[in-house]
Amino acid sequence: MRWATISAWVLAVSVTASAGGGGAPPSSKAKSEDKRSQRDWPVYGGTSENNHFSPLQQINRKNVKRLGVAWTFDTGESGGLQTSPIVVDGVLYGLTPSQKVFALNAATGQLLWKFDSGTKGTQPDRGLAYWSDGKEKKILVGVMNFVYALDAATGKPIPSFGKDGRIDLREDLGRDPSAQSIYMTSPAVIYKDLMIVGGREAETLPASPGDVRAYEVRSGKLRWSFHTIPHPGEFGYDTWPKEAWKTSGAANNWAGMTVDVARGIVFVPTGSAAFDFYGADRVGDDLFANCLIALNAQTGERIWHFQGVKHDLWDRDFPAPPVLLTVERDGKKIDAVAQTTKQGFVFLFDRTNGKPLFPIECRNYPPSDVPGEVAAQQQCLPAKPAPFARQLLTEDLLSERTPEVHQWALEKFRSFRSEGQFVPFSVGGNKDTVIFPGFDGGAEWGGAAADPETGILYVNANDVAWTGALAENTGENTPKALYMNQCAVCHGEKMAGSPPAIPSLVGVGGRMSTADVAATIKSGKGRMPGFANLENDSDQWYGLLSYVMSGGKDGGARETSSKEVASPEPAPPAMKYHFTGYHKFLDPEAYPAVAPPWGTLNAINLNTGDFVWKIPLGEYPDLAAKGQKNTGTENYGGPVVTAGGLLFIGATNFDKKFRAFDKTTGALLWETTLPFSGNATPATYEVDGKQFVVIAAGGGKDPKSKSGGVYLAFALKK
């Protein structure tokens, strides 16, 4: 294999001088926030830099052991929470599992108001945004495909925004709004009088285009759109087939964005194009899928971009908003942007022009043997920092939890194809391809924290293996073919899923009503997007519903009234291949079949690219009781770092712990057990001279535990 060092600045970056990416560096006034905002947590990610950092230090290394519960707020709902609340002027704004919006007294947890849109949220909703011009104060929040502007004082919709206080993200995409499926799972970012949004979309075809859009905060009118699937005449159009802009989809920003307010740049990470695992209908590099894009926040013009995966066939989205920080090189300060990846790498660029601050190396990878598929010949990864997750699963990395488990894992592993990153899936045979780290990372949506005082990046990671393969579709217009096209990608050919993240559909007719299953197909739930494209074609709609309810037979759905299920529209085009399902490599007792650590917490000095420390994050209580501690677990939700020398993180799936570490050494200083796992990023703030740390605890990722929706705030005990 040939290796070469490249400059992303030369290969993949095009600076648009008129787009506002250059200019003078931010003034000291622009860089510093006033004292009030330093006490608050006014933005998802803590600051506009999205660095998850707080200058508060009342809670510190010496006294953190005195932390206790100050207040709790139970939403009274189940379903889990991934929300990081915001706090402004002593008021905490958050979301319930069903996407009701509420405001609390941040010092006491007392409910001030609650807003129910009347639309039940079934998708993850990770946060909300705040805007004020000094007079008006608005909360901007996504509820499924709608964005509402609420009066921050009362929680009531503001009628002058959009239509009756909301806009519909299915509109303004250049396609039939009724056939679009898009959900705002990450909050808008604010730049002056604009809110800039992305959205979650279907990962099979047809899918909505992943346009990045800016709307006026006051009126809700569309100000600009950036087409991540370029239209004729736009940069990148020649990296797709000519008609792809009309028919392809996704390449969307679902993870959130970050704004350099002083320079007027919005940094947009994007995911893969649909269909995730087969791209013969999108041959080419597929710009701007899998990119970090720097846009002029005022106009939407591209300043520079870097494509992390060309012609993605592995669902290797950029999974989190990037972090802005300043690093030191050769005695000079450089304003940088750091982007984490599902593969377990950190890309670091000069944020003004996209020049990489560590070498990026490219190598050739195997071609695809799938008919019609044309995998990219070359992919690029940073030479430094070293990856924070393991890259190649080999026999010596298999579980040794017991001799029997090791032997089982060894035999199973020898039936897989394990060759590291960027190996295309194959069709037919019984040889699944190993994805390591798995489809959920590496890094995930919780994002990283950065200490502006030291240039150290803190990132939590998953470190387990998944497998997958492709299978040929029959091409028949049958309920089974539709299931294979649209549903098997997650639930698998045999409907077994990958619980709890992807539930089994086996026997679903005995657990759920036809109406509930129909509503889930239409609107989605959890990780599943809705299939709005099936909404008006009764034959296909009822055929798929019948197939699912009957456990894979053509027929068997209960009679359903027209009130229970809406009628739909023409069938999506059949794909030639389907994904056989997300298969997590677990042993017979449902523990990861790879050797620990199964989840880690990493501190990386971005001035040098060297690791400061690395520790396992989390444990399984039943294994810990047997002496197998510090195994790490899969974890979802990010860290918060403070000037008090602490790093706070929940995230771990199975032990329900909320922990505080010494940010310098990684030593555990404090922990507590939550009522549900804290699969969310915490926030910290100060009210009336008292510092609080709050986390949303909802669980839902452990099949042995129930889910909920509780916010817990901690403060120092007297």
Of the pLDDT bands very low, low, confident and very high (cuts 50, 70, 90), residue 560 is very low
pLDDT digits (tens, 9 = 90+) for 515-554: 677 667 766 676 666 666 665 455 666 567 666 766 776 5
Percent of the chain with pLDDT over 90: 76
Axis crossing angle, helix 538-549 with helix 514-523, rounded to the nearest 10: 120
Which of 327 and 544 is assigned the larger pLDDT? 327
For the record, the structure tokens of 19 come out as: 């787009």
Contact 635, 651 (CB under 8 A): yes
Of the pLDDT bands very low, low, confident and very high (cuts 50, 70, 90), residue 511 is confident
pLDDT digits (tens, 9 = 90+) for 81-122: 999 999 999 999 999 999 999 999 999 999 999 999 999 998
Contact 304, 13 (CB under 8 A): yes
Closest CA to 412 of 462, 463, 369, 467: 467
pLDDT digits (tens, 9 = 90+) for 3-47: 444 444 444 444 443 344 444 444 444 444 456 668 999 999 999
What was the pLDDT predicted at 495? 74
What was the pLDDT predicted at 4? 43
Sheet holding 466-468, edge to edge: 433-435, 466-468, 583-584
Per-domain residue ranges for the chain?
A: 33-82+599-718, 474-574
Partners of 586 in the beta sheet? 592
Count of CA atoms in the C-beta half-sphere (13 A) of 9: 13
What was the pLDDT predicted at 152? 98
Residue type, 392: L
Residue type, 387: P
- Residues contacting residue 167 through CB under 8 Å, at least 6 positions apart: 146, 147, 161, 215, 220
What was the pLDDT predicted at 574? 57
Report the 10 Å Cβ neighbour count for 234.
15
Residue type, 572: P
Q: In the CATH hierarchy, which fold is given to the domain comprising 474-574?
A: Cytochrome Bc1 Complex; Chain D, domain 2 (1.10.760)
Contact 155, 149 (CB under 8 A): no
For the record, the structure tokens of 226 come out as: 């950036």
pLDDT digits (tens, 9 = 90+) for 129-147: 999 999 999 999 999 999 9
- Each residue of 273-286: b (16+ CB within 10 Å) or e? bbbbbbbbbbbbbb
Report the 10 Å Cβ neighbour count for 40.
26
Closest CA to 204 of 474, 583, 584, 577: 577
Which of 437 and 718 is assigned the larger pLDDT? 437
CA 647 – CA 448 distance, rounded (Å): 11
CA 336 – CA 357 distance, rounded (Å): 8
Q: How many helices (H) and strands (E) does the chain have?
A: 11, 44
Query: Over 90: is that where the pLDDT of 351 sits?
Result: yes
- Each residue of 180-219: b (16+ CB within 10 Å) or e? bbbbbbbbbbbbeebbbbbbbbbbbbbbbbbbbbbbebee
Angle at 523 between CA 519 and CA 529, to 5 degrees: 130
Give 559's DSSP letter. P
Look-up: residue for tokens 């947890």? 109
CA 254 – CA 68 distance, rounded (Å): 35
Q: Largest Cα–Cα distance of the chain, in whole Å?
A: 73
For the record, the structure tokens of 71 come out as: 């207040």
